[in-house]
Amino acid sequence: MGNNISRKDFLVRTTSVLATAGSISSLAGCSVREYSKDKNKPNIILITADDLGGKDLSCYGNPDVKTPHIDRLAREGVKFQNAFVVTSSCAPSRASLITGQYPHTNGVTALAHLHKTKSLSPFHLTLPDLLSEAGYNTALMGKWHVSPFLPTSWYGYQERLSGIFGEDFCIKDIKPAVDFIHRNKENRFYLELNFMHNHRDMYGEFTMNPEFPVDPEKIKVPEYYNYPQWQEIKADLAKYFSQTMKMDQMVGDVLNTLDNLGLAENTMVVFISDNGPPYPGLKMTSYDRGIRTPLLIRYPGKISKSEQKAMVESIDMMPTILEGVGIPVPDSLEGKSFWPAISGNPGGYTEKEEIFTEMTTHVDYIPIRSVRTRKYKYIRNYSNIAFGLDQNAHMEWTHRLVQMDDQPWTKPRLMEELYDLENDPNERKNLVYEEKYADTLRDMRSRLDVQMEKTKDFLYGKVFTYDYNAGDYVKISPGTKYK
């Protein structure tokens, strides 16, 4: 099966949308669809957290966040220590999750609500498409960011449990999801829950949830943020942690529903984030603090409790779920199923030696490509334009922060970066210019070039451009070729 749906399927899908809306129901003679009741196939609940750091749960070692329900998934299922998203930006990351492809392949290379031409095409194959075809009732609740101006039913979702725009797509009440599970307790179902609790509001702020107060005086800024222990940062983090705990409560409601209905044994629950925390130098970067994600999978009927240290990527989730369900994995997917590794057949899985990440545009153009092995990270910046402060620009403390030498987020970026992850896990010392790492640099460059050529990346062969424009900075040349 290719990566695009046929025009016929698209028209059928469009007709279904209109009929559901009542526009042509009298003409279509629509009947209630029958869903699969095959007990040999699992239900699937895919939970995504927006802007949640890879280590910002108590099960990943953060002592200042209490997430007992998400921790339960880690305790009863598989916990990945080295899971990464392929891009640290909301819409591209989410599109990669449901297509099994890199952003430069599926076309979602920017925030789709701001760059409409970068929305996911409705002709593109998705995970809900394939599950729907296999008889699953597919539902979406929460953030819909991969193509926000088109109906979700065009992408394989049979039901939409929340609104599409603004505050309407924030999950404030989990009841519609609980009701969906009750309604489909005899059916095979796919439920996608996209929480936004860890995303800043439209004013760039967090609100302390009154049910889960966090005292800023009693917490620490996580070490992997590479930030000073300033009180202003702690005050903001306290609200961020508070929202994380509210989300955890809602996850608990879903898990309790599965228990009460006797569905837990035959339901695959996946928990993952779309990118790193919404702070300068974390989200939107290819550093581990931007791309590392929590990844937890519980499916008591088929997978045993374990802790996995293999490197996996978010694009691996779609083929893994499909294999777990027994649906053939399309050749067009670029991810690799790790189902054998978690289902009792580790000999059937070969760990990845490298993973690749990218960024093209978030709000603004910040093109990056990178390759990561267990020991090294190589980052290739295709422009010196600065990361900027994103939704943090209105805060006084962020402007003080970027005056520090190790916080260069408003300064021009270098062409290349190389880090020794074993000795420098927080990626603070760039080794590109050290002669002793010359062979390593050549090897990492080659790995990235091979991948970019193989996947037909549109940045392959492009030059480094000098787009930074601030103060007295002088543009050196129109572009510099990579070695």
Cβ distance 274 to 242 under 8 Å? no
Cβ distance 91 to 112 under 8 Å? yes
Report which residue type is found at 265: E
Structure tokens at 2: 């290719």
Give the model's pLDDT for residue 433: 94
CB-count burial class (<10 Å; 0-12, 13-18, 19+) for 364: middle
Give the model's pLDDT for residue 21: 38
Cβ distance 213 to 242 under 8 Å? yes
Task: Please state, in angstroms and rounded to a whole number, the distance separating the CA atoms of residues 335 and 340.
Answer: 14
Give the model's pLDDT for residue 11: 44
pLDDT tens by residue, 390-412: 999 999 999 999 999 999 999 99
- What residues contact residue 15 under an 8 Å CB cut-off, 6+ apart? 24, 28
Q: Which of 480, 418, 427, 413 is nearest to 445 (CA)?
A: 418
Q: Which residues are 372's β-sheet partners?
A: 355, 377
Cβ distance 190 to 135 under 8 Å? no
Cβ distance 55 to 81 under 8 Å? no
Q: Which of 392, 386, 379, 390 is nearest to 410 (CA)?
A: 386
Q: Which domains does the chain have, with CATH numbers?
A: 7-348 (3.40.720.10), 364-454 (3.30.1120)
Q: Which of 316, 329, 453 is nearest to 2 (CA)?
A: 329
Task: Please state, in angstroms and rounded to a whole number, the distance separating the CA atoms of residues 64 and 100.
Answer: 34
Question: At which residue do the structure tokens 């290349």 appear?
Answer: 416
Task: Please state, in angstroms and rounded to a whole number, the distance separating the CA atoms of residues 69 and 74.
Answer: 9
Q: Using 50, 70 and 90 to split pLDDT, how confident is the model at 277? A: very high
Cα Rg of the chain (Å, integer): 22
Give the model's pLDDT for residue 306: 94
Does 16 have pLDDT greater than 70?
no
Give the model's pLDDT for residue 2: 42
Give the model's pLDDT for residue 470: 52
> What's the chain's average pLDDT?
91
- In this structure, the dihedral spanned by the alpha carbons of residues 196, 167, 90 and 18, taken in order and rounded to 10 degrees, is 120
Q: Using 50, 70 and 90 to split pLDDT, how confident is the model at 284? A: very high
Give the model's pLDDT for residue 159: 97
How confident is the model over 206-212, as a mean pLDDT?
96
Give the model's pLDDT for residue 166: 66
Task: Please state, in angstroms and rounded to a whole number, the distance separating the CA atoms of residues 359 and 379.
Answer: 11
